[in-house]
């Protein structure tokens, strides 16, 4: 028996707190199990009844003689705590605690929840909930749940499983999918997740052979890395995970001193984590239904090229426009393919991509010719997906198109999409044919392009999974990451921060540290102009804001004035700051300013950030993120994702920047953030000066914050 069998395919279910009142949680699972024909044992438990719902009712779980794999506990909080202990002693492996009154109500409830978990763990029992709707297996009619999950309209069997932290909204997503003809396997409403968490439940579903696609509604997780791990496992297994993440606008725990922290929102990190491990981010119901239909076909493209066929010129134009938005290409057809189309579609208005079939479209009379053209496109190695636009086709024409695609899909592994505006009451037999062939039918050309783009994205991430992991391994060997000195805590000043970066192997600017007055004259005589003059203080994170920076100092006299000015400004505008001295730094004038940073997120741990830097870093917010550690390849992808990437490539006679050196440093910073995650709270390298190609990068300023 596999580790999920007792939970997903329970041989028997005890309903504790059973009731004959249909409005009570202790009644609803019994009614659902009976109504749907569950084949396992149904064991109501309540000493007040001899029978509930036509089943014998037991005084205690200990009286049940049959196999019981799940105990549904429909009791008040205090009673549930004691009952978990009794069920654990009975040897029941799983409990579903429906009722509330636990962590969600405050300290007293949290204490009860802790006792609940302790009782379960003392007997090797695992819990779903508390404060949840429960679990259902649609295939086997196993309803260990209450509320909407146990009532009609019930879902149809299929390959999609759902984990939902909100039973109401999560089940609403499932019903929306049901209306699109999508069937389900498991539904799990996880509630407070006192024991089994969403990542653990998703992990179980990946191992479930009947589950092919996983949908989740999440408001948060305690361990973001655990979620990323199951994402990578699902990616490897070819089981897509779609997550609707709610609570996107709230800020997590942040380091107020750093630009990186100020520029990083919670959802930024979630999206970066999702992309890195292949989880699909969804945020509206039509995305959920469209993407699941696309994934249910189990076909993944080998590239980003699509061929569009349409009897409607307007539909072809719209999908072509949308293709640009979602990174798809409509390539010119190869000579061989074009010749076949020329012969097979003599009356088509256009035989270039997109292919305008004309107002007649597909019909029984031209079906054979259409088959020839369609097969030529499917055989063309430069075409990776097919999109057929049939917005208003009905009757024999619609059936001819459905039959043609249904036959073609049997001989190809390329995804095929259909656009139609017509609903089931108009073309039921057509939609049935498409559903049987697992061909998605979406209700706008833009939705077709978006779903096709998603499949291309997913395929690229999946294909790059092995190289990404190897890249992280290789980047970890770039240079041993030095330990942070014992006893160092809080904010490090610029000189201390740069010293740590230099020890890691990151090139820093040439600096002169002035800590006193007596040695100053001799030291200043060694300066090579021009220079920047900066106040040195761990208490002043943003030196420019208080007038603590003077740039382009070009001679000795200006230097002395600048030193006095930054000291005076610091004393007047940051009177409580400890001043460690003044930093005189080389001016780097032929470089592009970027910011590279680390923020140690409360959910995902160290996250590396890259953005356009300097004093406008927080204004421009041209940034991209990745949970650390990453390799050079992913660091290069981060650079390419910047809206300002073309500047780094060189514009208007400017030389290209040293992108390769920048990628090396980003990977190294990510390795440092990961290796020192227990001590490093945040870091900015701002500006990171990116010199022309072949000349490297220089950290001109830095700020490190330690726990």
Instruction: Measure the CA dihedral 192/198/199/201, to 10°.
Output: 120
- Per-residue burial over 529-541, b if 16 or more Cβ lie within 10 Å, else e, is eebbbbbbbbebb
The conformation of residue 305, written as its DSSP 8-state character, comes to B
pLDDT value at residue 487: 78
Q: Which of helix, strand or coil describes residue 584?
A: strand
> How far is the C-alpha of 176 from the C-alpha of 288, rounded, in Å?
9
pLDDT value at residue 253: 43
> How far is the C-alpha of 94 from the C-alpha of 71, rounded, in Å?
6
| Residue 683 CA, distance from chain mean position | 24
The model's pTM: 0.91
The answer for 192, left when phi > 0, alpha when psi is -120 to 50, beta otherwise, is: alpha
Mean pLDDT by 10 residues, the chain (707 residues): 84 97 96 96 97 97 96 97 97 97 94 97 97 96 95 91 94 93 96 96 97 95 95 96 84 53 71 94 96 96 96 88 95 94 84 84 88 95 95 87 94 95 86 94 96 96 80 67 78 94 94 77 80 94 92 93 94 94 93 94 93 74 91 94 92 90 96 93 94 97 93
pLDDT value at residue 320: 92
Q: Which contiguous run of DSSP H or E holds residue 244?
A: strand 241-245
Q: Which of helix, strand or coil describes residue 40?
A: coil
- Per-residue burial over 87-116, b if 16 or more Cβ lie within 10 Å, else e, is bbebebbbbbbbbbbbbeeeeebeebbebb
pLDDT value at residue 24: 95
Q: Considering only CA atoms, which of 82, 74, 87, 17 is closest in space to residue 49?
A: 17
CA separation (Å) from 417 to 144, 164, 351, 405? 37, 29, 19, 9
| Residue 350 CA, distance from chain mean position | 40
Instruction: Measure the CA dihedral 309/312/316/317, to 10°.
Output: 160
Q: Which of helix, strand or coil describes residue 58?
A: strand
> How far is the C-alpha of 43 from the C-alpha of 164, rounded, in Å?
26
Place of tokens 């636009």: 389
Place of tokens 């119901």: 285
């Amino acid at each position: 028996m596999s580790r999920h069998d007792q939970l997903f395919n329970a041989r028997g279910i005890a309903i504790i707190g059973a009731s004959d009142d249909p409005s009570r949680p202790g009644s609803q699972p019994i009614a659902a199990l009976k109504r749907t024909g569950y084949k396992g044992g149904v064991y109501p438990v309540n000493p007040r009844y001899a029978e509930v719902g036509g089943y014998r009712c037991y005084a205690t779980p200990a009286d049940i003689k049959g196999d019981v794999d799940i105990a549904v506990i429909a009791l008040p909080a205090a009673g549930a705590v004691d009952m978990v202990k009794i069920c654990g002693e009975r040897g029941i492996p799983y409990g579903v605690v429906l009722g509330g009154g636990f962590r969600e109500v405050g300290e007293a409830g949290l204490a009860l929840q802790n006792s609940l978990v302790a009782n379960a763990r003392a007997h090797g029992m695992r819990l779903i909930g508390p404060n949840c709707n429960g679990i259902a297996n649609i295939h086997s009619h196993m309803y260990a749940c209450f509320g909407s999950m146990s009532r009609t309209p019930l879902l149809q069997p299929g390959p999609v499983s759902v984990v939902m932290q909100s039973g109401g909204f999560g089940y609403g997503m499932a019903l929306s999918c049901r209306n699109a003809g999508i069937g389900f396997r498991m539904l799990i409403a996880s509630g407070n997740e006192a024991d089994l968490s969403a990542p653990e439940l998703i992990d179980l579903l990946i191992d479930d052979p009947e589950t092919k696609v996983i949908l989740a509604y999440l408001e948060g997780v305690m361990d973001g890395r655990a979620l990323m791990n199951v994402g990578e496992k699902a990616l490897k297994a070819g089981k897509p995970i779609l997550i609707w993440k709610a609570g996107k606008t709230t800020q997590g725990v942040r380091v107020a001193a750093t630009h990186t922290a100020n520029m990083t929102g919670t959802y930024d990190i979630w999206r970066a984590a999702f992309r890195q491990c292949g989880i699909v981010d969804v945020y509206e119901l039509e995305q959920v239904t469209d993407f699941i239909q696309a994934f249910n076909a189990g076909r993944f493209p080998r590239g980003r090229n699509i061929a569009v066929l349409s009897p409607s010129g307007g539909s072809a134009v719209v999908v072509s426009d949308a293709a640009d938005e979602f990174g798809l290409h409509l390539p010119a057809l190869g000579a061989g393919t074009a010749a076949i189309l020329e012969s097979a579609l003599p009356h088509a208005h256009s035989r270039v991509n997109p292919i305008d079939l004309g107002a007649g479209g597909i019909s029984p009379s031209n079906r054979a010719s259409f088959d020839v053209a369609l097969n030529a496109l499917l055989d063309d190695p430069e075409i990776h997906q097919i999109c057929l636009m049939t917005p208003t086709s009905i009757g024999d024409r619609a059936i001819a198109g459905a039959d043609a695609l249904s036959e073609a899909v049997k001989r190809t592994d390329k995804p095929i999409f259909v656009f139609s505006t017509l609903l089931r009451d108009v073309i039921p037999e057509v939609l049935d044919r498409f559903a049987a062939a697992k061909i998605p039918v979406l209700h706008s050309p833009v939705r077709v392009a978006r779903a096709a783009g998603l499949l291309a994205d997913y395929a690229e991430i999946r294909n790059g999974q092995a190289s990404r992991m190897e890249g992280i391994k290789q980047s970890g060997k770039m240079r041993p990451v030095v330990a942070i000195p014992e006893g160092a805590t809080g904010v490090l000043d610029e000189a201390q921060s740069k010293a740590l970066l230099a020890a890691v192997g990151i090139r820093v600017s040439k600096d002169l540290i002035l800590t006193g007055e007596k040695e100053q004259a001799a030291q200043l005589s060694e300066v090579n102009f021009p220079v920047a003059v900066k106040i040195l203080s761990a208490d002043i994170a943003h030196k420019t804001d208080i007038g603590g920076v003077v740039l382009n100092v070009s001679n000795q006299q200006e230097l002395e004035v600048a030193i006095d000015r930054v000291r005076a400004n610091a004393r007047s505008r940051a009177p409580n700051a400890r001043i460690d001295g003044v930093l005189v730094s080389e001016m780097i004038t032929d470089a592009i300013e970027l910011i590279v940073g680390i923020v140690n997120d409360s959910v995902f741990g160290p996250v590396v950030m890259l953005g356009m830097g300097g004093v406008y870093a927080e204004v421009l917010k041209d940034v991209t993120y990745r949970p650390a550690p990453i390799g050079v390849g992913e660091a290069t992808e981060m650079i390419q994702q910047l809206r300002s990437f073309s500047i780094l490539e060189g514009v208007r006679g400017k030389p290209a920047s040293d992108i390769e050196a920048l990628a090396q440093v980003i990977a190294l910073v990510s390795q440092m953030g990961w290796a020192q995650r227990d001590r490093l709270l945040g870091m900015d390298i701002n500006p990171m000066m990116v010199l022309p190609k072949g000349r490297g990068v220089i950290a001109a300023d830095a700020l490190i914050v330690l726990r």
